[in-house]
């Protein structure tokens, strides 16, 4: 499915579900096409609402619809679906315990030429601090397609951190997705790479570099960053004894923080972080931005080598 854009996977899946499930409605804030929801607007005009450029209103209208019994999906670019509407999400959605599903597109460096203003690098941090919110970041088309029904059935708010464009397939046809279970992509014994979103494909590339150096790394996709799959994370950390996290997000508040919070309680061990290091984004295409923010396969491989050395010093 690697030739299909993730936004189309989302739009088509929702459209299919909406035929049978009358609870689903979608709300946009002038990014209907950008979010891949234009076919829904066409097929179900009475169940698709475009509130214009007014994200706070969109999210809170969705809360009102959810209080009535609908399951609304709202969509915008990731900073405007999260950071901009933090209080609306905190009070009208989370505090009120309403099952609004938030789609934040173009997370992190995938905002590319929209640059720093649109490059949500703190969205997970913002959302993760909101009680009850689930955070899911898809990895490939197959996974996303399987995730949507589970997101609908989860009776609570979910943030979907959606890279809109095409990505390489990670999972095969036999893949079975569970919203609350991290996926072990490759088993290994020397170091664990916990990766999310775009950084999973980059980490798969890094595995080859590591293998050339006889390093047997374990790669785990943490697609759901909250609530985090504590068992899988702790089991892997105990096995390998050191950890590198890879995320398309600030290293403050995101995957690194979530894993560090988990392991500091359960199994403290040496950790390193690949991600945006307390900085804003800037314009550029993904390959440049990966290089600029030290998020390439080479950076991941080097972080793994270094953290293994630290583990050995500790032993």
Q: How far is the CB of 246 from another protein (least distance, A)?
A: 36
Q: How far is the CB of 56 from another protein (least distance, A)?
A: 5
| Alpha helices (H) along the chain | 6-20, 38-43, 55-68, 78-81, 86-88, 123-128, 141-153, 199-212, 230-240, 255-266, 286-292, 297-314
Indicate the residue among 59 and 276 with the shorter CB distance to another protein. 59
Please name every residue paired with 120 in a beta bridge, in sequence order, or none if there are none: 107
Q: How far is the CB of 102 from another protein (least distance, A)?
A: 15
Strands 183-186 and 217-221: antiparallel
Q: How far is the CB of 250 from another protein (least distance, A)?
A: 26
Indicate the residue among 47 and 311 with the shorter CB distance to another protein. 47
Indicate the residue among 63 and 182 with the shorter CB distance to another protein. 63
Please work out, in degrees rounded to the nearest 5, the angle formed at the alpha carbon of residue 27 by the alpha carbons of 23 and 32.
Answer: 130
Indicate the residue among 48 and 121 with the shorter CB distance to another protein. 48
The footprint of another protein (CB under 8 A) covers: 25, 46-47, 49, 51-52, 54, 56-57, 60-70, 72, 87-88, 90-92, 95-97
Indicate the residue among 1 and 96 with the shorter CB distance to another protein. 96
Please name every residue paired with 184 in a beta bridge, in sequence order, or none if there are none: 220
Provide the CB-side half-sphere exposure for 152 (13 A, CA): 24
Indicate the residue among 61 and 244 with the shorter CB distance to another protein. 61
Q: How far is the CB of 95 from another protein (least distance, A)?
A: 6
Q: Which structure tokens are listed for 241? A: 């004894």
Q: How far is the CB of 54 from another protein (least distance, A)?
A: 4
Indicate the residue among 49 and 256 with the shorter CB distance to another protein. 49
3-class SS string, 137-183:
CCCCHHHHHHHHHHHHHCCCCEEEEECCCCCCCCCCCCCCCCCCCCE
Q: Is 260 left (phi over 0), alpha (psi -120 to 50) or beta?
A: alpha
Q: How far is the CB of 77 from another protein (least distance, A)?
A: 18
Strands 224-226 and 134-136: antiparallel
Residue 32, Cβ neighbours under 10 Å: how many?
Answer: 20
């Amino acid at each position: 499915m690697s030739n299909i854009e993730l936004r189309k996977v989302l739009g088509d899946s929702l459209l299919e579900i909406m035929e049978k499930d009358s609870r689903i409605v979608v709300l946009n804030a002038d990014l209907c096409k950008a979010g891949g929801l234009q076919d829904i607007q066409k097929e179900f005009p009475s169940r698709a609402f475009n509130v214009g450029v007014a994200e706070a209103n969109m999210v809170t209208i969705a809360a009102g619809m959810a209080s009535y019994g609908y399951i609304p999906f709202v969509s915008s670019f990731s900073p405007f679906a999260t950071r901009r509407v933090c209080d609306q999400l905190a009070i009208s959605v989370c505090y009120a315990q309403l099952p609004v599903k938030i789609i934040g597109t173009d997370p992190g460096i995938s905002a590319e030429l929209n640059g720093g203003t649109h490059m949500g690098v703190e969205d997970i941090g913002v959302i993760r601090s909101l009680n009850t919110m689930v955070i899911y970041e898809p990895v490939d088309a197959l996974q996303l397609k399987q995730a949507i029904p589970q997101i609908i059935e989860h009776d609570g708010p979910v943030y979907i951190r959606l890279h809109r464009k095409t990505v390489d397939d990670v999972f095969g046809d036999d893949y079975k997705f569970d919203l609350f279970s991290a996926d072990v992509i490759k088993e290994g014994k020397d170091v664990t790479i916990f990766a999310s979103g775009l950084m999973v494909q980059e980490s798969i590339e890094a595995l080859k570099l590591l293998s050339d150096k006889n390093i047997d790394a374990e790669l785990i996709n943490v697609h759901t960053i909250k609530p985090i799959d504590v068992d899988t994370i702790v089991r892997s950390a105990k096995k390998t004894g050191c950890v590198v996290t890879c995320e398309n997000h600030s290293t403050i508040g995101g995957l690194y923080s979530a894993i560090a919070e988990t392991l500091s309680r359960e199994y403290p061990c040496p950790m390193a972080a690949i991600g945006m290091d307390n900085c804003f984004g800037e314009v550029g295409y993904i390959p440049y931005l990966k290089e600029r923010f030290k998020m390439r396969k080479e950076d991941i491989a080097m972080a793994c080598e270094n953290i293994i050395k630290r583990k050995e010093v500790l032993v």
